[in-house]
Amino acid sequence: MSKILYNNLEQSLLLKNSNVIKVSDRSISYHTDFKVKAVREYLTGKTPNQIFIENGFNLELIG
């Protein structure tokens, strides 16, 4: 499990991203479509950071 703990505000911010299904205090569940898209983009040479940033995620928040 993640060592990051998400408070209520952080959880609500993460849930505003259409790529997120649900968030608990310790984990984020992503939509299947996002997972497939992320793998495809990774295979074309994008870094994980690029993929998450381009899909609206705050890297400081998700770790």
Structure confidence by residue, pLDDT tens digits, 4-27: 899 999 999 999 999 999 999 999
Q: Is the dihedral of CA 4, 37, 20, 53 positive or negative?
A: positive
Given a contact cutoff of 8 angstroms between Cβ atoms, the answer to whether 12 and 22 are in contact is no
pTM: 0.88
37-55 pLDDT, tens digit per residue, is 999 999 999 999 999 999 9
C-alpha span between 36 and 57 (Å, rounded): 16
Map out the domains of the chain as residue ranges.
8-61
